[in-house]
């Protein structure tokens, strides 16, 4: 009898050990990072499905549509190439940057070394690195309000990447009015500006938008891809060629993967207490 009880006790111990092992193993499997290398061989839809199955929660602005698929595919490619890491996220659209953070978290990918010795093609680094650069994007940089937000933020309006470039420019005008400026949009690059005027340019691609700001000569343009170093555009006109999100972070340059090829809108603006008032402006320009 004692022998039977010992045998039964041993079997129960094994069963308990086995049962306790299964949830632990399952938990480890559930939390196992999605290998970026494996994702890179999948289509965009398959990448999104795999990430969702492994715990990715899409930011509120995203739906399972074509834009989201393209955004995921871009981010996965950038992570694999070392363009995007936990520290370096060269996107401007706040929801795209948030999606990148969540994919990095699900993938468990801390960092991949990017191609060494990349030299910026279309821009030149301004100054040296500052940790404060991670706190604002191209929009915050261009209008001089250093926050990482989208057009429409300052006028309490919603934003998404399905908006036309003209509608995005309208949001900028509304934001500037809320911040104490008069302004208007135009599809024509100004040849010069009055000394009280300022100008920014906006352009979009398939998954992101980007801004540049100009001086009163309208021939010197600077910009800032996401949370990276400000750059000087090497050409006198923003429309000289297609923009990319090549960037510099902590004094090292990286090749971008996003292009911005829409038409360009320019927003010319000035403080409300100087210059002409709205009823003296021809907004049909």
Domains in the chain: boundaries: 36-107, 123-280
The reported pLDDT for the residue numbered 41 is: 87
Which of residues 273 and 233 earns the better pLDDT score?
233
Q: What length does the chain have?
A: 285
The reported pLDDT for the residue numbered 65 is: 87
Q: What does the pLDDT look like over 146-167, one tens digit per residue?
A: 999 999 999 999 999 999 999 9
Mean pLDDT of 176-196: 97
Looking at the predicted structure, is the pLDDT value of residue 198 above 60? yes
Looking at the predicted structure, is the pLDDT value of residue 119 above 80? yes
10 Å CB burial of residue 265 (0-12, 13-18, 19+) is buried
Looking at the predicted structure, is the pLDDT value of residue 280 above 80? no
* Average pLDDT value for the chain: 87
Cα 238 versus chain centre, distance: 20
Mean pLDDT of 215-230: 97
**pLDDT above 70 as % of the chain:** 82
The reported pLDDT for the residue numbered 277 is: 72
81 vs 59: CA distance, rounded Å: 23
Confidence of residue 109 (pLDDT cuts 50, 70, 90): low
For 1-17, letters b (16+ CB in 10 Å) and e give eeeeeeeeeeeeeeeee
Which of residues 280 and 65 earns the better pLDDT score?
65
Backbone angles phi, psi at 283, to 5 degrees: -80, 5
Confidence of residue 15 (pLDDT cuts 50, 70, 90): very low
Confidence of residue 281 (pLDDT cuts 50, 70, 90): low
Q: What does the pLDDT look like over 24-68, one tens digit per residue?
A: 333 333 445 677 878 888 999 999 999 999 999 999 889 878 999
57 vs 228: CA distance, rounded Å: 26
- Beta strands 209-214; 123-125: pairing state: unpaired
The reported pLDDT for the residue numbered 33 is: 66
Query: Got the DSSP string for 200-246?
Result: EEEEE-SS-EEEEEE-TTSS-EEE--TTS--EEESSS-GGGS-EE--
pTM for the whole structure: 0.84
Asked whether the beta carbons of 135 and 227 are under 8 A apart, the reply is yes
């Amino acid at each position: 009898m004692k022998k039977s009880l010992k045998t039964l006790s041993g079997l129960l111990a094994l069963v308990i050990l086995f049962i306790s092992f299964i949830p632990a193993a399952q938990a480890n499997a559930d939390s196992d990072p999605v290998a970026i290398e494996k994702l890179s061989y999948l289509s965009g839809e398959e990448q999104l499905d795999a990430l969702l199955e492994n715990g990715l929660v899409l930011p509120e602005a995203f739906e399972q549509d074509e834009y989201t698929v393209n955004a995921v595919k871009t981010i996965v490619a950038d992570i694999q190439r070392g363009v995007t890491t936990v520290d370096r996220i060269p996107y401007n659209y706040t929801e795209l940057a948030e999606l990148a953070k969540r994919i990095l978290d699900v993938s468990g990918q801390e960092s991949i070394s990017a191609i060494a010795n990349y030299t910026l093609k279309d821009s030149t680094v301004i100054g040296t690195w500052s940790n404060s650069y991670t706190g604002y994007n191209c929009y915050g940089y261009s209008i001089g309000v250093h926050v990482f937000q989208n057009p429409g933020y300052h006028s309490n309006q919603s934003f998404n990447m399905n908006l036309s470039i003209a509608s995005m420019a309208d949001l900028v005008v509304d934001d500037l009015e809320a911040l104490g400026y008069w302004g208007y949009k135009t599809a024509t690059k100004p040849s010069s500006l009055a000394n009280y005027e300022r100008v920014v340019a906006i352009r979009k691609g398939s998954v992101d938008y980007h801004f540049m700001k100009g001086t009163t000569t309208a021939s010197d343009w600077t910009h800032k891809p996401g949370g990276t170093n400000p750059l000087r555009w090497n050409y006198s006109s923003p429309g000289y060629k297609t923009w990319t999100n090549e960037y510099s972070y902590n004094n090292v340059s990286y090749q971008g993967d996003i292009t911005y090829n829409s038409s360009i809108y320019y927003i010319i603006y000035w403080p409300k207490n100087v210059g002409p008032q709205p009823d003296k402006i021809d907004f049909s320009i």
